[in-house]
Structure 1
């Protein structure tokens, strides 16, 4: 599985020359374009939810922090797999060009499109977000009208074994702005730890990657944040680790834990360049 954002700018030879409906009104600003696209597809009865760095930027005031602010090249979404066919049509009608080869090879789980005007890639995961681990998202796509829930945004980042600088910035923004809630009344707006613990308590690999990354982010906080901000992040991480440790584990989790780190527990996404 290729990592989102690994593709270099420019239209690949395998992309279609244009859409049957002509170019749509794509916007230069990424957040505005994401909002426009989600709304346009919603009017057609289609579900699209933003994830990745732009979703963090939209949900987190701390993403504007001087040490956490960063650039956002592409748009990443998730949509129900059953809507893949009408989704392709709707995206072309909204000004996007399909990568025919990629979609033919991977269209059961992921689609790529391009905004030629703004040299931007749009990456759509179908029901499941998969990099180093598999995260089933479709049952929770209705928790928020535009993005994934805070818990799922965190999980899409915490599942990455080889975190880069942008991943750490996004994780710090989320952990600054969303204190963990053992039981959230509104999981679309709060960090509902039931979502996180349910994923990690059934899969030792998930648990191991998530807890490793939480500890790493706690260490990075001092390098990027002021003392009070770093302390807040560490408090949130300590609470998350406590809840993850106390959650009852499945039989499969316990069996896999006996093998431990002697056997690799994750996949590494391939880096594919056009």
Structure 2
């Protein structure tokens, strides 16, 4: 919905899953809503993880639904409390960007989606329809681990862009602008101390993935 480029080759692909983020107060409603649409709840998963994530599957159409509650917890944690009340059905471009860039083992389909997102959204501050570099930089510089994963995945994204028939210069310039904001953001002492340890200590989680593979159309 946020990226028109995703509707056209080479960024168009098949979608086997749907991701939602809801407030904790809407958890009970979600547990009733998706089964009413024909989705089957994964009872075991929802019992064990249901305070932070719900999972549903439509066996007839091969579609799965992940529902994150308040936060998107993958390799890192993106806290969306207070960021879900804006107009429109989608999270902001900034939060969509972070939801994928935070995955340490980011895959091809996520990199294709990220290309579309950056291609379709300028870097700006205080604009719900843009990628807010100040917001991204603030989160990255509060957590060295998140920042390191973002750095690695921005490099992977640049490589992916080189392989796609898109406006590469535009995407590269926006990534440059985004990362310049991260580098310019002051780093607290805790961040700088963790940076000294660097990659010698693991800084990310490896969540169990139930997503479908990349399927270009």
Fold shared, TM-score > 0.5 on shorter chain: yes
Partner of 2:36: 93
Aligned: 1:220 with 2:160: yes
Match of 2:24 among 78, 81, 84: 81
TM-score by length of 2: 0.90
* 3-state SS of 2:174 partner: helix
How far the C-alpha of 1:67 sits from its partner, in A, is 1.4
Aligned partner of 1:158 in structure 2 is 101
1:260 match: 198
SS, match of residue 75 in structure 1 = strand
2:142 to 180, 185, 202: 202
Q: Deviations over 1:77-127 (max 9, x none)?
A: 011123212321233334332211111111111111223443321110111
Question: Alignment length, in residue pairs?
Answer: 211
Residue from 168, 176, 186 that aligns with 2:119:
176
Distance 2:208 2:41 in 1: 21
Residue 215 (structure 2) aligns with: none
Superposition RMSD in Å = 1.7
Shift of the 272–164 alpha-carbon distance from structure 1 to 2, 3 Å rule, reads closer
More strand by share: 2
The question of whether the paired residues in 2 share the 8 Å contact of 1:79 and 1:138 is answered with no
The equivalences for 1:182-193 within 5 A come to: 183-184=125-126, 186-187=127-128, 189-193=129-133
Secondary structure of 1:138's counterpart equals coil
Alignment partner of 1:107 is 2:47:
no
Which of the two has higher C-alpha Rg?
A: 1
Q: Which runs of 5+ in 2 are unaligned?
A: 212-217
Partner SS for 1:238 = helix
Give the corresponding residue for 1:167: 110
- Higher normalized contact order (CA 8 Å, seq sep 6+, divided by chain length): 2
Provide TM-score, normalisation by structure 1: 0.72
> Which secondary structure state, in structure 1, belongs to the residue aligned with residue 195 of structure 2?
helix
**Cα distance in 2, alignment partners of residues 75 and 91 from structure 1:** 12
- 1:238 aligns to 2:176 (yes or no): yes
Shift of residue 272 of structure 1? 5.7
CA distance in 1, matches of 2:102, 2:62: 28
Aligned CA distance change for structure 1 residues 94 and 65 (closer, same or farther; 3 Å): closer
Q: Displacement, 1:251?
A: 2.6
Structure 1 segments, 4+ long, off by >6 Å, are none
